[in-house]
Structure 1
């Protein structure tokens, strides 16, 4: 397992799927101001022979009436209509890889991380918060698209909060082909050519947070993603599920 300390900014660490859980909770319980903290993360990648990484990330959050900043993600609020709220979204994703990341990827061209722009609609209800979000690759590396449907509900007991969530994420052919495809120029004896197809991933996760004071909180966020056939059929992939674990501390000013 590798350990890396980075100066990049992480989202408020309430998410397994980018911005999903944090965005829904903020819609239901908006709180203006800044937040600073630290998160410890361990995430799996599906690629063959790629080591899991243990990383420490600083966290930055900010919210006002029109804007929400959560590390690599920014929401521009468009307003509400009854129990529905709308937002434009921008986020940065770390989905790429380099040939040096594992011996099996040797000879593969670099796949770059992406910048994603899109929109989200959220329905706040006492039973569950539901969201639908579309994103497109504004960096034009994959030229792909994603559609995420998510649901979550927060149970609270005094200072403790437990938030289970589920999500289904559709990824189009261009996205899957860019990150999991194998071009003719990348073929070798143990790595056949592969043209990706659109797929749907499923995610199940839970977040547990504890309020130390009115300004301070700690959290644990754990989940697993079930990869769709368009990804698992790729010769680059060695597992059908990937897990993630995040622990952190946040101070709100």
Structure 2
């Protein structure tokens, strides 16, 4: 398994872990995870991976894997925070990943500065994330908006432990600079079967869901699924396969 894919899925699961287990206890949490995800790039397909997880929370500071965050505002109905997301090994591709990518320059990840906000609306929750490249890799930005809710399944089935099902729908925005770096084709990379391509900004549709089971006081099992219907500017790229990007997850965490 390449280090790049390790961190790609690792950062994905850290975000899913944070979303599935809001308000974790103070201190350390550790875990193990398995992922089965599909790449949008031609010829890459699905990959199965397994790896460790870790998280640390103290007051308003939260370290989620490699991503530190700080809550600036924290109230019953609204949370506002800032975070750093290192994607130096977690996004993009290498030419040897697929025959379709031969002759392409490597596309690397970057360091993103982000703003995250959560607003509780009765039984619904609105989430907004905005991220900007600060490593000058591509000068791009992206934003996501989700509206979701959770249902405690143990309220309907008394014999099971605390089990929370969550479903959230949303949309994602990717700037033209972001798309051009990861999905564009430069003149020096063009071939008879791969035309020069410079995409604009795009909007994608997003879905994420999870089932969290509190096995014991400290052990938590989470099964997750995430899907992204890629925007037309991305799907039209000659280096993408035109499919959606999705991932299945299973992970077990323990609060120390």
Q: Which residue of 2 aligns with 1:13?
A: 13
Q: 1:235 aligns with which of 218, 234, 238?
A: 238
How big is the shift at 1:204?
1.1
Secondary structure of the structure 2 residue equivalent to 1:95: coil
- 2:10 is paired with a residue whose SS is coil
1:31 aligns with 2:25: yes
Q: Shift of residue 189 of structure 1? A: 0.8
The question of 1:76 aligning with 2:79 is answered no
| Aligned twin of 2:123 | 127
TM-score by length of 2: 0.88
Quote how far apart the aligned CAs of 1:25 are. 5.0
Superposition map of 1:35-184 within 5 A: 35-80=29-74, 83-93=77-87, 94-158=90-154, 159-184=162-187
Q: 1:172 to 1:7 in 2, by over 3 A?
A: closer
Q: Specify the SS of the correspondent of 2:246.
A: strand
Measure how far apart 1:36 and its partner are.
0.4
Q: CA deviation at 1:12?
A: 8.8
8 Å contact from structure 1 (residues 24, 122) kept in 2: no
How far is 1:164 from its partner?
A: 0.7
- Per-residue deviation, residues 24-81 of structure 1 (Å, max 9, x unmatched): 852xx35222100000011111111113221112100111212111113221111235
Which is worse superposed, 154-163 or 165-174? 154-163
The answer to whether 1:221 aligns with 2:217 is no
| Offset, 1:167 | 2.1
Tell me the secondary structure at the aligned position of residue 241 of structure 2. Answer: coil
| CA displacement at 1:92 relative to structure 2 | 2.7
The SS at the match of 1:76 is strand
Aligned mates of 2:228, 2:115 — CA distance in 1: 22
**Equivalenced residues, count:** 246
List runs of 5+ in structure 2 lacking aligned partners.
155-161
1:249 aligns with 2:252: yes
Deviation readout 1:191-242 (Å, 9 max, x if unpaired): 0000011001111121011111000011110121100011001011112312
In the alignment, is the contact (CA less than 8 A) between 2:20 and 2:222 conserved in 1? no
CA contact (8 A) 1:11 1:60 kept: no
Where in structure 1 are there 5+ consecutive unaligned residues? none
